[in-house]
């Protein structure tokens, strides 16, 4: 998931040199939506046709200046005048304009990438990084905050406001507010360079993915792939000028919906090998090499942590999370890896035995381009089930309607589609219609079923295209805390890259597509149902190792009858999914679970090792070789070394999960444990859903995440819940 959150970095606000007092005495002028479309929208929704990259740069510069003025007003508060409204309350509101503008420009970069958007991103990245990192350099601001935090009136604040006060004080301390001037200056230099490196990392990933393609002119080289896949690949080839209707070609790209199916289903080893080699080019070509970027990022993060008084960057990143320290995070990952390892070894041996039987000779190592293929075949043979059999029952419109109905009932909400239009610059928007950036994008409103209150809205952009980032995420565009008894609606974007429609068929999703959609909709629910007092605590603005709980909990409904029967109907006949297919789906859920678990644990371990032990295990070494040295004991035996996943793992470099990838497994444990209550009381039990909405979704970060979990479950988490769910522990 990619979104801006108040406490993802140690410093979320900033203060620069003071402005003349007369500039802060009067309220800041209200901005016109027509003149500043990145800051003011008019009508509650962005006017996408007005969001040009150049305007984004101008509005971000303006937002930084206005934030500086707001900060200066706080800096001028005298000790006797300090109150919530002019200190922490003002501080909490200060950056919202900038966050909105940054989010929209990042949205353009992620979904409508152009050279102009990239240039704008490159221009604003150092500006916003410098602005954010300079917070600890302003001694006047820190003096006001430190004094206000010690005032007796703080103890009379609501629990959420008291929590926010402590979070702000902690963020100042963690970001070096008490450092001497020379170290503060160095910290600002480090964070500015890190922002530029993260931008370069993302560009290298995008450009290397875009640079690779494989054109096939012989259909026999694609044996085993479905007619739907072939139809999409032929259409894509035709769009790019390859082949003719009489002599078609098929285009494979590094979009997961394209290359992923080849590695999983294509019967021709040479085609699989070429595609695997293509995947290895992401962040790994002479022109787009991310290895030096990764090394420099780790060097700078290590220096930053030392500068701020932390043993490692992982300690800095986890200090305010549930896990508490880098050592605790690594112990969690290592403990789970050791518990999974015996099951993993048995599964590896079973896979090698299976391949040996097929080949008629003993196989002790697998080609890396063969692993997904043989895993798929073994799963299909053992379970007598091909997950592609589900696709005719996964029509996009049915999946969406069914998913909405499940959670509408469970959480007492109502979801409705809003009228939309895609405009060209200068075109007028019809009354009652909302603008979208592409015709295929949809917009939905979410209301509370009992009160009719508009909780928020979400855009839906589900299919891949050439100028869109790969992956799936939810990004907040605007969040609000309560204003008295009311709260303005939230607004988010839900993005996926799922199977597209073809010329003769609607979009028919794979089971993985459906699972991905349910996962991201969990983030959407968390975002839109957030009803915290403060914007800074709303929805997904929680500890990084808690944020995945609602999304991973949501995944359970794509495996159980109460979920699947809500959306799985044949796209042509409207017949329900046969009971036999549903049974096979459920039986396949935890087939060789250790393989999947170890795959994610390897990434979590690599992330933590790099952010804790960079000097001893990675510095001065080839990134790919150093990665293999760390992960080989936990990896399938392969005939070839694979490039380090860190070359393209944006989560841990540019997307807020640095020293935090363990969070997926951590939250998966919480989700497995929380689902035991749904299993006991019923997956469609509205009382259970109401409790989860109150305890977790609505509360957000307004209290300790462990308290929210205890409120829902009545106890602390069971650390073995996930392994018990997957059958690896009794």
CB-based contacts of 532, cutoff 8 Å, min separation 6: 160, 481, 482, 538, 539, 698, 699, 700, 701, 702
Q: Pick the last residue of a domain from 254, 279, 304.
A: 279
Distance, C-alpha 674 to centroid of its chain:
21
The pLDDT tens digits of the residues spanning 194-214 come to: 999 999 999 999 999 999 999
Distance, C-alpha 456 to centroid of its chain:
20
Give residue 655's pLDDT: 84
Residues 173 and 217 occupy one common structural domain: no
What is the C-alpha separation between 376 and 386, in angstroms, rounded? 8
Q: Is the pLDDT of residue 135 over 80?
A: no
Show the 3-state SS of 587-628.
Answer: HHCCCCHHHHHHHHHHHHHHHHHHHHCHHHHCCCCCHHHHHH
Residues 401 and 530 occupy one common structural domain: yes
Q: Which CATH number fits the domain that encloses residue 80?
A: 1.10.1370.40
Give, in degrees to the nearest 5, the angle at Cα 641 between 636 and 646. Answer: 90
Give residue 136's pLDDT: 73
The pLDDT tens digits of the residues spanning 651-686 come to: 999 988 999 999 999 999 999 999 999 999 999 999
Q: Is the pLDDT of residue 588 over 70?
A: yes
Q: How many CB atoms lie within 10 A of CB 220?
A: 9
What is the C-alpha separation between 281 and 211, in angstroms, rounded? 9
Q: Pick the last residue of a domain from 510, 543, 576.
A: 543
Whose structure tokens read 């960079």?
Answer: 614
Residues 453 and 536 occupy one common structural domain: yes
Q: Pick the last residue of a domain from 485, 509, 543.
A: 543
Give residue 12's pLDDT: 27
Rg of the Cα atoms in the chain: 26
What is the C-alpha separation between 528 and 697, in angstroms, rounded? 9
Domain that holds residue 68: 22-178
What is the C-alpha separation between 218 and 235, in angstroms, rounded? 15
Q: Is the pLDDT of residue 27 over 90?
A: no
Whose structure tokens read 């954010």?
Answer: 132
Residue 717 domain-assigned (yes or no):
no
Residues 42 and 141 occupy one common structural domain: yes
Confidence class for position 9, pLDDT limits 50, 70, 90: very low
The pLDDT tens digits of the residues spanning 281-318 come to: 999 999 999 999 999 999 999 999 999 999 999 999 99
Confidence class for position 470, pLDDT limits 50, 70, 90: confident
Distance, C-alpha 675 to centroid of its chain:
22
Residue 666 domain-assigned (yes or no):
no
The pLDDT tens digits of the residues spanning 62-102 come to: 999 999 999 999 999 999 999 999 999 999 999 899 999 99
Q: Is the pLDDT of residue 15 over 60?
A: no
Going by the DSSP 8-state scheme, the letter that residue 18 receives in this structure is P
Residue 164 domain-assigned (yes or no):
yes
Q: What is the mean pLDDT of residues 222-237?
A: 94
Residues 519 and 462 occupy one common structural domain: yes
The strand pair at 473-478 and 490-495 is best described as: antiparallel
The pLDDT tens digits of the residues spanning 34-67 come to: 799 999 987 889 999 999 999 999 999 999 999 9
Q: Which CATH number fits the domain that encloses residue 522?
A: 3.40.390.10
What is the C-alpha separation between 535 and 477, in angstroms, rounded? 12
Q: What residues form DSSP beta bridges with 665?
A: none
Going by the DSSP 8-state scheme, the letter that residue 420 receives in this structure is E
Measure the CA dihedral 435/48/131/144, to 10°.
-30
Any idea how long the chain is?
730
Q: Is the pLDDT of residue 637 over 90?
A: yes
In sequence order, which ranges of 291-448 are alpha helices (DSSP H)?
Answer: 291-307, 313-318, 326-359, 371-383, 396-411
Q: How far is CA 210 from CA 291, 370, 572, 588, in A?
A: 19, 24, 35, 34
Q: Is the pLDDT of residue 533 over 50?
A: yes
Residues 231 and 165 occupy one common structural domain: no
Residue (of 649, 591, 598, 597) closest to 623 by Cα position: 649
Give residue 490's pLDDT: 96
What is the C-alpha separation between 145 and 138, in angstroms, rounded? 11
Residue 667 domain-assigned (yes or no):
no
Residues 163 and 218 occupy one common structural domain: no
Give residue 483's pLDDT: 81
Residue 373 domain-assigned (yes or no):
no
Give residue 417's pLDDT: 98
Give residue 31's pLDDT: 81
Residues 158 and 222 occupy one common structural domain: no
Residue 257 domain-assigned (yes or no):
yes
Residue 191 domain-assigned (yes or no):
no
Confidence class for position 484, pLDDT limits 50, 70, 90: confident
Residue 375 domain-assigned (yes or no):
no
Residues 173 and 261 occupy one common structural domain: no
Confidence class for position 26, pLDDT limits 50, 70, 90: low
Domains in the chain, number: 3
Give residue 285's pLDDT: 97
Residues 161 and 240 occupy one common structural domain: no
Residues 169 and 52 occupy one common structural domain: yes
Q: What is the mean pLDDT of residues 572-583?
A: 97
- pTM for this one? 0.90
Q: What is the mean pLDDT of residues 400-412?
A: 98
The pLDDT tens digits of the residues spanning 492-532 come to: 999 999 999 988 899 999 999 999 999 999 999 999 999 99
Q: What residues form DSSP beta bridges with 75?
A: none
Residues 96 and 144 occupy one common structural domain: yes
Measure the CA dihedral 711/715/721/724, to 10°.
-130
Contact assessment for residue 160 and residue 702, using Cβ atoms and an 8 Å cutoff? yes
Contact assessment for residue 443 and residue 423, using Cβ atoms and an 8 Å cutoff? no
Tell me what the pLDDT averaged over the chain comes to: 93
What is the C-alpha separation between 136 and 169, in angstroms, rounded? 11
Distance, C-alpha 214 to centroid of its chain:
29
Give residue 21's pLDDT: 33
Share of the chain above pLDDT 70, in %: 96
Q: What is the mean pLDDT of residues 414-435?
A: 95
What is the C-alpha separation between 192 and 125, in angstroms, rounded? 8
Q: How many CB atoms lie within 10 A of CB 573?
A: 9
């Amino acid at each position: 998931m990619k979104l801006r959150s108040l406490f993802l970095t140690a410093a979320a606000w900033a203060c620069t040199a003071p402005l003349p007092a007369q500039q802060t005495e009067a309220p800041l002028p209200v901005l016109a939506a027509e003149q500043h479309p990145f800051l003011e929208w008019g009508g509650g929704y962005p006017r996408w046709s007005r969001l040009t990259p150049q305007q984004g740069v101008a509005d971000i510069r303006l937002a930084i200046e206005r934030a500086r003025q707001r900060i200066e007003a706080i800096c001028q508060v005298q000790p006797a005048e300090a109150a919530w409204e002019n200190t922490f309350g003002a501080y909490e509101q200060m950056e919202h304009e900038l966050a909105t503008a940054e989010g929209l420009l990042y949205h353009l970069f992620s979904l409508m990438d152009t050279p102009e958007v990239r240039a704008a991103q490159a221009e604003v990245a150092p500006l916003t990084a410098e602005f954010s990192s300079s917070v600890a350099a302003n001694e006047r601001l820190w003096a006001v905050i430190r004094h206000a935090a010690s005032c007796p009136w703080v103890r009379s604040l609501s629990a959420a406001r008291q929590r926010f006060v402590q979070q702000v004080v902690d963020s100042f301390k963690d970001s070096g507010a008490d450092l001497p001037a020379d170290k503060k200056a160095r910290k600002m230099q480090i964070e500015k360079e890190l922002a530029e490196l993260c931008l370069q990392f993302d560009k290298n990933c995008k450009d290397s993915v875009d640079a690779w393609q494989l054109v096939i002119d012989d259909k026999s080289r694609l044996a085993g792939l479905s007619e739907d896949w072939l139809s999409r690949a032929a259409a894509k080839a035709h769009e790019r000028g390859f082949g003719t209707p009489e002599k078609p070609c098929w285009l494979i790209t590094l979009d997961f919906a394209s290359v992923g199916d080849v590695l999983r289903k294509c019967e021709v080893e040479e085609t699989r090998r070429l595609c695997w080699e293509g995947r290895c080019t992401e962040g790994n070509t002479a022109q787009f090499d991310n290895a030096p970027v990764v090394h420099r990022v780790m060097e700078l993060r290590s220096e930053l942590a030392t500068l701020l008084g932390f043993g490692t960057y992982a300690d800095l990143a986890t200090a305010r999370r549930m896990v508490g320290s880098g050592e605790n995070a690594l112990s969690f990952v290592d403990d789970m890896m050791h518990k999974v390892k015996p099951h993993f070894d048995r599964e590896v041996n079973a896979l090698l035995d299976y391949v040996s039987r097929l080949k008629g000779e003993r196989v002790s190592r697998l080609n890396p381009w063969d692993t997904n293929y043989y895993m798929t075949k073994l799963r299909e043979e053992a379970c007598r089930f091909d997950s592609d059999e589900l696709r005719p029952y996964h029509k996009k419109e049915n999946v969406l309607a069914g998913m909405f109905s499940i959670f509408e009932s469970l959480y007492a909400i109502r979801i409705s589609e809003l009228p939309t239009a895609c405009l060209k610059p200068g075109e007028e928007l019809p009354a009652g219609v909302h603008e979208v950036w592409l015709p295929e994008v949809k917009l939905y409103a979410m209301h509370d079923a009992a009160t009719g209150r508009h909780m928020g809205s979400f855009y839906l952009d589900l299919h891949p295209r050439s100028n869109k980032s790969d992956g799936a995420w939810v990004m907040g565009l605007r969040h609000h805390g309560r204003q008295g008894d009311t709260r303005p609606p939230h607004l988010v974007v839900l993005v996926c890259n799922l199977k597209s429609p073809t010329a003769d068929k609607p979009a028919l999703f794979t089971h993985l597509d459906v699972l991905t959609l349910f996962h991201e909709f969990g983030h959407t629910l968390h975002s839109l149902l957030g009803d915290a007092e403060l914007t800074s605590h709303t929805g997904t603005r929680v500890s990084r190792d808690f944020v995945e709980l609602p999304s991973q909990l949501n995944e359970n409904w794509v495996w159980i009858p109460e979920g699947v029967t809500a959306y799985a109907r044949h796209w042509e006949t409207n017949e329900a999914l046969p009971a036999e297919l549903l049974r096979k789906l459920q039986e396949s859920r935890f087939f060789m679970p250790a393989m999947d678990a170890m795959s994610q644990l390897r990434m979590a371990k690599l992330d933590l090792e790099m952010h804790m032990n960079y000097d001893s295990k990675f510095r001065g070494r080839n990134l790919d070789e150093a990665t293999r040295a760390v992960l080989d004991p936990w990896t399938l035996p392969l005939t070839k070394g694979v490039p380090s996943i860190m070359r393209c793992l944006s989560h841990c470099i540019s997307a807020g999960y640095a020293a935090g990838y363990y969070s997926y497994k951590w939250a998966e444990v919480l989700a497995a444990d929380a689902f035991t209550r749904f299993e006991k009381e019923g997956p469609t039990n509205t009382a259970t859903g109401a409790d989860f909405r109150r305890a977790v979704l609505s509360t957000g970060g307004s209290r300790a995440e462990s308290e929210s979990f205890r409120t829902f479950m009545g106890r602390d988490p069971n650390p073995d819940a996930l392994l018990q769910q997957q059958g690896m522990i009794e």
